[in-house]
Structure 1
């Protein structure tokens, strides 16, 4: 012990006298793009919210019902009335949801409306004072592959995280696990992870251009391929959810089904949307459209087959629905229909359909 003490004393006495922290090298001004990114985040952060959900479960033995945590996600302030927009899958199956603002305040939310087909839901919270500003609305119709985008959300519960990237592709389709495919999606390489769902995708001006909705990843984490519902769709669907509690999609009064469409397309060697039935009193019936005919010998004969909407081809039910979503109820659209081997042009006025 005496030897160790003597050695330590010797090392201390040998150390340089007056050792101080090194001087900091002046950094200089931040780069222009860095300042712009910082400003975008600081302006947008307060408009983004953290959403936590709970679900009710019943104990097998006691039959008592308990409320347990279900999941987390993101959302953003839509207007000054307390409406918050998020993904439908963030709140799907939940019995309650709590919205946390950037300043730490928590509010119990009520469900206003949802459109599973667009993966959009609207919640509402009551904020009496210091209401956060709504996210500025942009447009997605003029997006270009390669332009910068920014995502703000709560990946893995790490609240108010900013990532950036570019628009990688446009008009992507993504099949739902248990629901219909979502069409016209924006593809981005901005890092999107579980918990980012429902958060805003912003352009370089800080305007909303989409809702981050999904990732493609074998591992479950970001692999550089994320998807967002375009803001033009959001701006069309959300007002209806607020007003009606559901989305009334445009239709022409026909019955179609993706599974049957695939079977009949293969059976009849055609590419298009097979009209199964025509609803009485609808625009399709008034235009003289016909559904599938079942012959006495058990064979199936196609009636009308829709192959294009305003010159844009359709060969699946999902594409058909996506094409109609580009229009409003009351709009007149031109359909290209194959009838008995010949292409017929029909002009119909879109009517209100069922919830999507």
Structure 2
């Protein structure tokens, strides 16, 4: 089909940014939180991911609100109900009072590559449906939350974010949501973070089912790291990555099992662990109090320990 003579011919980079914005932009909402007296108490962004009005956003945007309202790019303003929120991952799910709504397609954060183009869409400082672009700067970062906890395996990007972008989508060039924007380093330039969509959807599924996430815990902070090829071959490990322990809580299950900072976990309960998202999915409530095997690399040595997860 020939191009219209009035259409600009875009370079490949611009074409991807435009494509991502056109596909995801209509599903981005501006969220306003109100306190118990009906006064605005905060704002942020979110993305509709089902046509019947389920929205992904950040827990810190909506968790303390008495009432919520979402504005769409087409001018609609809808009441929003908090389905559930999970401060441990800074993910929340809202339900809008509407049907037939524009919904964004979801991608996979596990397939992201450092250097890949990503596009952030949100409502920074109240400027609705603003788009910025950048690259994936790093993967598997750990980030300290406002409440003092650690978010594991977050995406670092240089797509510029500002207050109000929180909860909005980070998308691939093809227009699929690969993360939920969550934070920026204020004094720095181009250091921003998003929660991987694989983690966000795992959490959202449980929030929709139970209203909260029931977990067990190991008492450690970790990040996804590559495993050296020669070490993998020597031990016959299938996965290219593992989970490196970056902190061990004193007297927690991991400390009691003898885990140390720098250990790289490769399996838990006889299941392969290739990343922090895998470990999150395995730490279900039913495993609290159960004695389970855990395999780890300490240097180049492959060790097996037993750990008893605690109820979270």
TM-score (norm 2): 0.75
**Aligned with residue 345 of structure 1, among 301, 304, 309:** 304
Unaligned segments of structure 1, at least 5 residues: 1-25, 57-65, 259-270, 279-288, 292-302, 313-319
Distance 1:322 1:167 in 2: 18
SS in 1 for 2:141: strand
Is the Cα–Cα contact under 8 Å of residues 309 and 334 in structure 1 kept in the other structure?
no
- Cα offset for 1:275? 6.6
Q: Against the structure 1 CA distance between its residues 146 and 333, is the aligned structure 2 distance closer, same or farther, given a 3 Å change threshold?
A: farther
**Aligned with residue 98 of structure 2, among 113, 127, 134:** 127
Distance 2:220 2:159 in 1: 35
Distance 1:85 1:163 in 2: 19
Who is 2:117 aligned against? 148
Who is 1:80 aligned against? 51
**Aligned with residue 197 of structure 1, among 163, 166, 182:** 166
Who is 1:229 aligned against? 195
**Aligned with residue 77 of structure 2, among 103, 106, 112:** 106
- Cα offset for 1:231? 1.0
Q: Which structure ranks higher in relative contact order (CA pairs < 8 Å, sequence separation ≥ 6)?
A: 2
- 1:243 aligns to 2:214 (yes or no): no
Distance 2:83 2:8 in 1: 49
Q: Against the structure 1 CA distance between its residues 67 and 188, is the aligned structure 2 distance closer, same or farther, given a 3 Å change threshold?
A: same
TM-score (norm 1): 0.66
Q: Against the structure 1 CA distance between its residues 200 and 333, is the aligned structure 2 distance closer, same or farther, given a 3 Å change threshold?
A: farther
Is the Cα–Cα contact under 8 Å of residues 274 and 304 in structure 1 kept in the other structure?
no
**Aligned with residue 325 of structure 1, among 257, 270, 280:** 280
Is the Cα–Cα contact under 8 Å of residues 153 and 276 in structure 2 kept in the other structure?
no
Is the Cα–Cα contact under 8 Å of residues 265 and 294 in structure 2 kept in the other structure?
yes
- Cα offset for 1:42? 1.6
**Partner deviation per Cα, 1:251-277 (whole Å, 9 max, x = no partner):** 47xxx589xxxxxxxxxxxx9736737
Distance 1:75 1:109 in 2: 11
RMSD: 3.2
Aligned residue pair count: 266
Distance 1:167 1:257 in 2: 26
When Rg is computed on C-alpha atoms for both structures, the one with the higher figure is 1
Who is 1:334 aligned against? 294
- Between 206-215 and 241-250, the greater mean CA deviation after superposition: 241-250
